[in-house]
Amino acid sequence: MPTLRSHGIYQLPDGRRYVAIKDGAGSFFLYPAAHGATAPPVYEVTPDGAVTPWQSGGTPYRVEDLIDTGENFDR
Count H helices, E strands: the chain? Answer: 0, 6
Residue 2 pLDDT greater than 70, yes or no: no
pLDDT at residue 68 above 90? yes
Structural domain count of the chain: 1
In a domain, 17, yes or no: yes
Residue 3 lies in a domain: no
This prediction has a pTM of 0.88
Distance CA 73, CA 45 (A): 18
Per-residue confidence at 75, pLDDT binned at 50, 70, 90?
Answer: low
Question: Taking a C-beta distance cutoff of 8 angstroms, is the pair 41, 54 a contact?
Answer: yes
pLDDT tens figures, 9-61: 999 998 999 999 998 777 899 999 998 889 899 999 988 899 989 877 777 79
In a domain, 73, yes or no: no
Domain residues for the domain of 21 are: 8-66
| Residue 52 maps to a domain | yes
Is 59 within a domain?
yes
